[in-house]
Amino acid sequence: MITEAQIVLFRFPQTDQTEAKLRPALVLRRLPGHYDDWMICMISSQLHQKIPDFDEVITSTDSDFRQSGLKCFFNASTSHSNPIFSCSSRI
């Protein structure tokens, strides 16, 4: 069962749509409507791609880092607000 604020694995497509990469994502919220679709955003350890005053940086020293389910070998991760995807809970 998917819930808001949960960390899940999702196969994000590359921008050219030729392949996809399995990476962590933050579940933002369930979308309205009859389908069980959710809005998610990608999480990346590529801090050099961080957009200042836009992306949220998550560090291993954050009080709730352990509960996030992210791997401790990352010193920090960034929650990219772009791209945001919608996906079915069945994925």
User: Which pLDDT does position 73 carry in this prediction?
Assistant: 42
| pTM summary value | 0.70
Rg over alpha carbons for the chain, rounded to the nearest Å, is: 13
pLDDT at position 81 is: 54
And the tokens for 9?
Answer: 């694995």
Q: Mind listing the pLDDT tens digit for each residue in 44-91?
A: 777 777 888 887 877 788 888 887 777 654 445 555 555 677 777 775
Q: What is the mean pLDDT of residues 8-18?
A: 83
